[in-house]
């Protein structure tokens, strides 16, 4: 196995890694960096459990070659909020009982974050679209959709106050 260097930003910190050529970002995050918040559900890009944010957009880390992350800005669930704090989406998923087994939760939250970053006032259909690549087998999606809408509402409130 050949190894190549990759420099990227991971959860706001500079990361320099040697990765095996042809290996995926998913493998780098889990097997090399111990960031287990990114889940492996299918290795085929069909379940969304491995979703991470690259340069502001959701990406499937199982289909992303690690060495192509050179110079990119990668966010995983571990980087969503400062230690000890919760992002409004995390709080809304908790309050809304939107997680059961929890395996899809990291991908769901990151997919939702990409939506809310672009569109702070989404419709239900836009929320549905945002998580359309993420499989959940436990919840029936309804609590997840509700939690994302709740989080969006909560995130808009302070902005309105300022305005």
Partner 1 sequence: MSVTLSAAKQARLVPAVQAKGGRIIAGGTLIVADLNYGADSVALITLDRLGFDKIAVKGGKVTLGAMVTMAAVARDRRLKFLHPVANSIGGPAVRAMATIGGNLFAPAPYGDMTAALLTLDAEITLHDGKATRKLPIETFLAQRRKLQKHCVVSISFAAPSAGTFHYVKVVRRKPVSASVVTIAAVIPQKAGKIKDARIALGAMAANAIRARKAEAALEGRKLGNDIIATAAKLIAAEASPADDAYATAWYRREIAPVHFVRLLAA
Partner 2 sequence: MTRKRGRGMAAVNYPTGMNLGGDPSQALIHATTTGSFVVTLSSVDLGQGLKTVMAQICAETLGVPTDNVIIDTADTDTGPHCMGTFASRGTHRIGNAIIMAAKEARAVMLEVAAEELEVDAGDLVTDGAGAIHVKGSPQKSISIFNVALAAHFKHGKSISGRGIFLQPRSYPEPETGKMTPATCYAHACTVAEVEVDTETGEVAVLSLKSAYEVGRALNPRMVEQQIIGGAWMGISHALYETTEPYYPDRAHGPVDFNQYLMPGPGDLPEFANVVIERPAADGPFGAKGVGEMTANSPIPAIANAIFDAVGVRVDSLPITPEKVLRGIRALNA
Partner 3 sequence: MEYRKDYFTGTQTQDLTEVGVTRQRSDVLGHVTGKTQYYADRQFAGLLHLKMVRSPHHHARIKSIDVAKALKVPGVVRILTAKDVPQNIYTILCLIQVEPNDEPVLAFDKVRFKGEQIVAVLAESEAAARDAAAKVKIVYEVLPAVFDVEEALKPGAPLVNEYHGRNYFTYEGHHCRRVRYGDVERAFAKADHVVEEMYQSSPIEHAPTETTGCIVVPDQNDRYTCYSNTQALYFTLDNTALILNSPFQKLRLVGGTVGGGFGGKVDVITEPIAFLAAMLTKRPVKYEYSREEEMQVSSPRAAERIYIKDGLMKDGRITARKVTLYVDAGAYSRHSPYGTTKAAAHMPGPYTIPNVWVDCHCVYTNRTPSSAMRGFGVTIGDFALEVQMDKLARLIGMDPMEFRILNAYRDGDMKAHQKQVEGAALVECVQAAADLARWPLCDRSKTASSLKREV
Which H or E element spans position 57?
Answer: strand 57-60
DSSP string, 105-146: HHHHHHHHHHHHHH-SS--HHHHHHHTTT---SSS-SHHHHH
Q: Is 127 in the site for partner 3 (CB under 8 A)?
A: no
The tokens of 69 are what? 């992350």
Tell me which of partner 3, partner 1, partner 2, none is bound by residue 106, counting a contact when its beta carbon lies within the kind-specific cut-off of 5 to 8 angstroms: partner 3
Tell me which of partner 2, partner 1, partner 3, none is bound by residue 78, counting a contact when its beta carbon lies within the kind-specific cut-off of 5 to 8 angstroms: partner 3
Span near partner 3 by CB under 8 A; candidates 7-15, 63-71, 87-95, 113-121: 87-95
Residue 97: name the closest of 145, 133, 54 by CA. 145
Residue with smaller CB distance to partner 3, 123 or 142: 142
Q: Is 103 in the site for partner 2 (CB under 8 A)?
A: yes
Inter-CA distances, 61 with 24, 35, 163, Å = 7, 12, 38
Q: Is 21 in the site for partner 3 (CB under 8 A)?
A: no
Q: Is 93 in the site for partner 2 (CB under 8 A)?
A: no
In angstroms, the CA 120 to CA 13 distance is: 26
**Binding stretches for partner 3 (CB under 8 A):** 1, 30-31, 34-44, 46-47, 49, 76-78, 86, 89-91, 93-94, 97, 99-106, 109, 135-138
């Amino acid at each position: 196995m050949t190894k190549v260097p990759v420099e990227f930003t991971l959860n706001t910190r500079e990361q320099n890694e040697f990765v095996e050529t042809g290996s995926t970002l998913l493998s780098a995050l889990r097997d090399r960096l111990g960031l287990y918040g990114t889940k492996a559900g299918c290795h085929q890009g069909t379940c969304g459990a491995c979703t991470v944010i690259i340069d502001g957009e959701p990406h499937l880390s199982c289909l992303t070659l690690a060495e192509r992350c050179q110079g990119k800005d990668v966010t995983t669930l571990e980087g969503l909020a400062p230690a000890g704090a919760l992002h409004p989406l995390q709080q809304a998923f908790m309050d809304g009982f939107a997680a059961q087994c929890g395996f899809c939760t990291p991908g769901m939250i990151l997919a939702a974050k990409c939506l809310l970053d672009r569109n702070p006032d989404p419709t239900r259909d836009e929320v549905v679209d945002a998580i359309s690549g993420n499989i959940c087998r436990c919840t029936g999606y309804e609590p997840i959709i509700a939690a994302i809408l709740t989080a969006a509402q909560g995130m808009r409130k302070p902005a309105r106050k300022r305005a």
